[in-house]
Structure 1
Amino acid sequence: MAVEHDLRSNSVFAPPEDDPSAWQASVETFRDALERAFPDAFLETNTSSPRDVPVLDFAIEVAPDVFVSGTAAMPAPDYAHVSVIDVTAHAAALFARWLRDSYVPSPAGVRFLSSFVMENGDETPWPLPATGDATEIEAVLRSHLAAAE
């Protein structure tokens, strides 16, 4: 019997390793996309102290009563990642679907990794499904978490 994983973890989404500039992302374009999709978003541009790069901290409601907060680091066209913090697979999947379908230029251009899996010794990112709804993405995220057991 499969075990459901409702644990909370941090998830990181990034472009494909073989094409880190695939998103052609910037803090400004990400901010604009969040503002359009989530008019009530909390958005704050800061400077990451460890790397001295611009980051966008955000908090959004991805579905009624489902909130996601995170940080986007996109200091150069060839470097980008978005972290969502302390989320369930369900909330991460809702965010990932928006990211894949509304921000990145190619739905095949997103990979992810969770802090739970990294803490268990696996630092290999998984590809986000290029198609499917949030339920299908959630199933992949749950499989990712289960692989760490």
Structure 2
Amino acid sequence: MAVEHNIRSNFVFAPPEDNPGAWQASLETFKDALERAFPDPFLDMNTSSLRDAPVLDFEIEVAPEVFVTGTAAMPAPDYAHISLVDVTADEAALFAQWLRDSFVPSPVSVRFLSSFVMENGDETPWPLPATGDAAAIEAVMRDHLAAAGAE
């Protein structure tokens, strides 16, 4: 009997700790990339109430009838992170594959962390696989969740 994987979490994506400027990104370049890659994205520039910094809230359709909602913060060349809210590992993996393959300049420049792991006191990000399709990324994300006892 197949086990359904429907654990929902928040996932954060960021550049490598030893090279925080690796993405060479801004909110404008991220917004432009979303507009080119996804049909009819919802994009809204705001100011974060937590850090009083500009952010881009977004909702995109990463696959037919599969929507993800998130927030991107890139207030300085050496600081960037993108958060997805209330997603399954397979939904997050679809976004992560696009991020790795189409937005960041190097496939080894993405690390991620989930709210489940952080809630257990571990704030050590995992590297996103540099190769592989969304299924391969999903497998790593499931391992990450399992490490926190979520899967």
What's the TM-score once normalised by structure 1's chain length?
0.96
Higher mean C-alpha deviation, range 78-87 or range 3-12: 3-12
| Distance across 1 between alignment mates of 2:5 and 2:64 | 21
Contact 1:5 1:145 in 2 (8 A): no
Distance in 1 between the 2:143 and 2:4 partners? 10
Q: Corresponding residue for 2:142?
A: 142
Paired residues of 1:5 and 1:146 also in contact (CA < 8 A)? no
Residues in 2 aligned to 1:122 and 1:113: alpha-carbon distance in whole angstroms: 9
Identity of aligned residues (%): 80
Q: Which runs of 5+ in 1 are unaligned?
A: none
- Provide Cα deviations, 1:52-72, integer angstroms capped at 9, x if missing partner: 111000000000111100000
Structure 2, gaps ≥5 residues long: none
Question: 1:120 Cα deviation (Å)?
Answer: 1.5
Give, in whole Å, the separation in 2 of the partners of 1:121 and 1:52: 26
Q: Matched residue of 2:98: which SS? A: helix
TM-score (norm 2): 0.95
CA contact (8 A) 1:27 1:72 kept: yes
- Cα RMSD between the aligned structures? 1.3
> Does the Cα contact within 8 Å between 2:108 and 2:128 map onto a contact in 1?
yes
The amino acid across from 1:94 in the alignment is L
Distance 1:95 1:17 in 2: 21
Q: Deviations over 1:67-113 (max 9, x none)?
A: 10000000011000000000000000000000000100000000000
8 A contact 1:15–1:111 mirrored in 2: yes
2:39 is equivalent to residue 28 of structure 1: no
What residue in structure 2 maps to residue 51 of structure 1? 51
1:88 corresponds to which residue? 88
Asked if 1:131 corresponds to 2:131, the answer is: yes
Moved over 3 A (4+): none
